[in-house]
Amino acid sequence: METQTQADVAVVESEQQPQNDIVRLVVDGVSFGLDVGGIHEQHSGLFRMLAQKGLAYEPVMTRVLTKILKDMKAPGFMDIGACTGYYMCYVAALLGDTTPVTGVESNPIHCEAMRRSCELNGFRNAQVCEAILSNQVEPAAADGFSVITGGAESGQMAIPLDQLCERGAVPVPNVMKMDIHGGEGKALFGMTSVLKSVDYLLLELHGHDRLEDLSPGIERSDIMKLLWDLGFTVHCLAGHTAPPKFTRREGIGTGGFAYRRVTAENADCLFFDRLRHQFFLVSKRDDVRGILGESVKDSFLCYA
């Protein structure tokens, strides 16, 4: 996370909520509110901290998403792993609530919070979909920030996104963000038809341990091959989880992006000893410099 200018990011908590349930954010000049009442204290505490310190949430990803949406004539957005609805509400406010925006989330408490946030903001074209995504229909259960598939006895069922879209339960997006803590392996292999209509995917790809827990048998290399086979280019961006003292440095702190294209030749090097999640811009564009600019030089963060 990084500190933005007052013009870019200001976070002010509503004085009308004595319990501090409503957090109001202004991101890149776009104002929206989040209802954080009842959600996990880790997330409510995070947004309260952002409000107190004036920090932006995941600023690298937020800036990339903003640039993409402003460059498109008719974007339709889906956030898979929407959690408290930050990205869903931001995009709905940014696009003027005129195009489809969908938040897919497995945690029912977070889904209720997102619905309250949609009502708070008066969004009419924002949709909350409570679902667990997988590569097949199978028993599943929400488990805090993650899900358990296969053998679960909760009465819930996981489902491929392709089937949800075929049924008309959710609209097919052309911009997608995904952060599902290791479930992305199964989920991506269950949306191959939808991905053919997607121009951009902002993907948090997790390390081997998380993938093995929630997408057993699927490696990061399998995910890369799937994306390449579908005609995407993949670029790894630095700074997604770096602390503010690093994202304010000479490169990313100027508003640029440090990134590198992922290929079959360099993937092993880029993934080597990176055990945590990384942020990837997955795009149908061969050259992303029109969106990201030239990769900046940064002595700590740069992939170039």
CATH code for the domain of 142: 3.40.50.150
- Per-residue model confidence (pLDDT) at position 2: 42
Q: Is 281 contained in some domain? A: yes
Q: Is 207 contained in some domain? A: yes
- Per-residue model confidence (pLDDT) at position 291: 94
- Per-residue model confidence (pLDDT) at position 71: 93
- Per-residue model confidence (pLDDT) at position 301: 65
Whether residue 238 contacts residue 297, with contact meaning beta carbons closer than 8 Å, is answered with no
Q: Is 236 contained in some domain? A: yes
- Per-residue model confidence (pLDDT) at position 155: 66
pLDDT tens-digit series, residues 278-295 = 899 999 999 999 999 999
- Per-residue model confidence (pLDDT) at position 5: 39
Could you tell me what percent of the chain has a pLDDT over 90? 58
- Per-residue model confidence (pLDDT) at position 113: 94
Which range (6-15, 41-50, 251-260) has the least confidence? 6-15
- Per-residue model confidence (pLDDT) at position 4: 45
- Per-residue model confidence (pLDDT) at position 49: 76
Which range (41-45, 142-146, 225-229) has the least confidence? 142-146
Q: Is 127 contained in some domain? A: yes
- Per-residue model confidence (pLDDT) at position 8: 46
- Per-residue model confidence (pLDDT) at position 269: 82
Q: Is 302 contained in some domain? A: no
DSSP secondary structure code for residue 282 in this structure? E
- Per-residue model confidence (pLDDT) at position 106: 93
- Alpha helix positions (H), the chain: 41-53, 59-71, 86-94, 108-121, 161-166, 184-189, 192-195, 208-214, 220-229, 244-247, 267-271, 289-292
CA–CA distances in Å: residue 132 to residues 13, 87, 108, 135, 216: 32, 19, 11, 10, 16
276 vs 277: which has the higher pLDDT:
277
92 has a pLDDT exceeding 50: yes
Q: Is 4 contained in some domain? A: no
Count other Cβ atoms within 10 Å, centred on residue 234: 22
Q: Is 2 contained in some domain? A: no
**pLDDT band for position 143 (50/70/90)?**
low
Could you tell me the pTM of the whole model? 0.89
> Tokens at residue 64, please?
């990339």
d(CA 281, CA 62): 12
* Average pLDDT of the chain to the nearest whole number: 85
14 has a pLDDT exceeding 70: no
pLDDT tens-digit series, residues 153-211 = 556 899 999 999 999 999 999 999 999 999 999 999 999 999 999 999 999 999 888 99
215 vs 154: which has the higher pLDDT:
215
Its domain, for residue 40, covers 9-292
68 has a pLDDT exceeding 80: yes
Q: Is 304 contained in some domain? A: no
> Tokens at residue 136, please?
């097949």
pLDDT tens-digit series, residues 223-273 = 999 999 999 999 999 888 776 666 666 667 778 899 999 999 988 888 766
- Per-residue model confidence (pLDDT) at position 261: 94
Order of strands, sheet of 101-105, starting from the edge strand that comes earlier in the sequence: 126-130, 101-105, 77-80, 175-178, 200-205, 278-283, 233-237, 259-261
248 vs 115: which has the higher pLDDT:
115
Q: How many domains does one find in the chain?
A: 1
